[in-house]
Amino acid sequence: MGLYAERVLPHVIHVACGSGEVREQRERVVPLADGRVLEVGMGSGLNLPFYDRERVELVWGLEPSAGMRRKAEPAVAAADLDVRVLDAPGERIPLDDDSVDTAVLTYTLCSIADWHAALVEVRRVLAPGGKVVFSEHGLAPDESVRRQQRRLNPAWKVVAGGCHINRPIVDGLERTGFRIDRVDAGYRGRLRAAAYTTWGVCTPR
């Protein structure tokens, strides 16, 4: 993966995704999870403090990057939760069908190579009555911002570990078999090209 991807990038992502508006978004959506939880793209474990200990049975933390898994070790060790780290990509979730009550997606769909395949996998592992709680940045509604996103995205992907800033989040969820039950959206950050965020709850159709 290279020195930058495994040693430098995990620290950059940990800092960028752990403060300000992004932290507020985590605080907003993560407590909605319950039961057996799959967190897709656990990263450095930034969501772990926000799970409701009274409602969550266990957390599977899916994270394909060895560098991010190392970065997450202190958070996992400190969490008073049953956290089971899975070394696998979102496109190949190593869990049984119908085994997950809540899938948590926070700032991860932007960086999964085949994000539609990952969402199909999420749908597969969700148990009947299961749900997805999400907060993701992506394609902005304003054409002026979209133009900025198109210009910035090629370089942004290289610097930010494959992160795309202009993916249509709600469209992707709906195309892969989810019904949007609750959704909010807005600019959550100063750099508008990377700050348009959609968050809410969806369930399999």
| Among candidate residues 100, 120, 97, 104, the one with its CA nearest the CA of residue 42 | 104
Write the pLDDT tens digit of every residue in 126-145.
999 999 999 999 999 999 99
Predicted confidence at residue 131, as pLDDT, reads 98
Predicted confidence at residue 30, as pLDDT, reads 98
| Contact between residue 183 and residue 170 where contact means Cβ atoms under 8 Å apart | yes
Overall size of the chain counted in residues: 205
**Structure tokens given for 69:** 């898994």
State the distance between the two ends of the chain, measured CA to CA, in whole angstroms.
37
Q: How far is CA 174 from CA 1, 7, 79, 177, 181, in A?
A: 32, 36, 33, 5, 11
Write the pLDDT tens digit of every residue in 10-46.
888 998 888 899 999 999 999 999 999 999 999 999 9
Q: How far is CA 37 from CA 67, 86, 123, in A?
A: 22, 12, 13
| Contact between residue 198 and residue 138 where contact means Cβ atoms under 8 Å apart | yes
Q: How far is CA 86 from CA 35, 44, 63, in A?
A: 18, 13, 6
How far is the C-alpha of 53 from the C-alpha of 38, rounded, in Å? 15
How far is the C-alpha of 130 from the C-alpha of 108, rounded, in Å? 19
Write the pLDDT tens digit of every residue in 57-82.
999 999 999 999 999 999 999 999 99
Residue 179 CB burial class (10 angstroms; 0-12, 13-18, ≥19): exposed
| Contact between residue 18 and residue 34 where contact means Cβ atoms under 8 Å apart | no
**Structure tokens given for 195:** 């700050």
Write the pLDDT tens digit of every residue in 106-126.
999 999 999 999 999 999 999
> pLDDT above 70 covers what percent of the chain?
100
| Contact between residue 73 and residue 52 where contact means Cβ atoms under 8 Å apart | no
pLDDT band at 6 (very low <50, low <70, confident <90, very high): confident
| Among candidate residues 111, 117, 114, 155, the one with its CA nearest the CA of residue 137 | 111
